[in-house]
Amino acid sequence: MDRRTVYRRFASREDLLAAIYEARLTAIEHAIEDARLREAPVTVALHRYVENIVAVNRTWPVDLTRMLADESVHARRDASVREVDMFLRRATDEGLLRPGLPQGWASALLPQLMHLVSREMPHLSHGQAANVVVDTLLRGLGTP
């Protein structure tokens, strides 16, 4: 697709970026829903969530921070973050992650691991990338 085609569909660069961010947010929401973070066994949900987010990161490699001034984008992102935070608390409560870590540490670390594997290891399939992230997370934060 060349520039003329893009600008026939989008009135401005900002409209194009808004559409990209919208698509990324929607993909993240679907990734969370598909992982069944509330009801699937924790290890299954964790792997599925990571695999899904690696796919999102590779399909939509944009950072949402530019759009966080938009209240609806901010609200949707915050809802996704809350859902994952609740899941990570569940993982701790069920003994998969060790208690006593600084507040928010797992919530901060997991997205960084997913971002890193998405960008730095493109040769890995989504499933293989998820294996690396989950293994790293659990060995670093898991119970002994």
Cα–Cα dist 49/38, whole Å: 12
Q: Can you give the pLDDT at residue 116? A: 95
Residue 7 confidence (pLDDT) above 70: no
Give the model confidence (pLDDT) of 83-105 as tens digits: 999 999 999 999 999 899 898 99
Residue 6 confidence (pLDDT) above 70: no
Domain extent at residue 69: 13-141
pLDDT-derived band at 2 (thresholds 50, 70, 90) equals low
DSSP of the chain: --HHHHHHH-SSHHHHHHHHHHHHHHHHHHHHHHHTTTTS-HHHHHHHHHHHHHHHHHHS---GGGGTTSHHHHHHHHHHHHHHHHHHHHHHHTTSB-TTSPTTHHHHHHHHHHHHHHHH-TTS-HHHHHHHHHHHHHHHHB--
Asked if residue 4 is part of any domain, the answer here is no
User: What is the arithmetic mean of pLDDT over 61-87?
Assistant: 83
Give the least confident one: 32-41, 109-118, 132-141.
132-141
Tell me how far CA of residue 26 lies from CA of 9, 18, 47, 104, in angstroms: 20, 12, 20, 24
Asked if residue 7 is part of any domain, the answer here is no
> What CATH number is given to the structural domain containing 32?
1.10.357.10
Q: Can you give the pLDDT at residue 74? A: 80
**Is this model's pTM higher than 0.85 or not?**
yes
Give the model confidence (pLDDT) of 129-142 as tens digits: 999 999 999 987 66
Q: Can you give the pLDDT at residue 77? A: 87
User: What is the arithmetic mean of pLDDT over 55-75?
Assistant: 79
Residue 1 confidence (pLDDT) above 80: no
Asked if residue 8 is part of any domain, the answer here is no
Cα–Cα dist 59/55, whole Å: 6
Cα–Cα dist 17/52, whole Å: 22
Mean pLDDT rounded to a whole number for the chain: 88
Asked if residue 2 is part of any domain, the answer here is no
- The structural domain count of the chain equals 1
User: What is the arithmetic mean of pLDDT over 24-32?
Assistant: 95
Asked if residue 64 is part of any domain, the answer here is yes
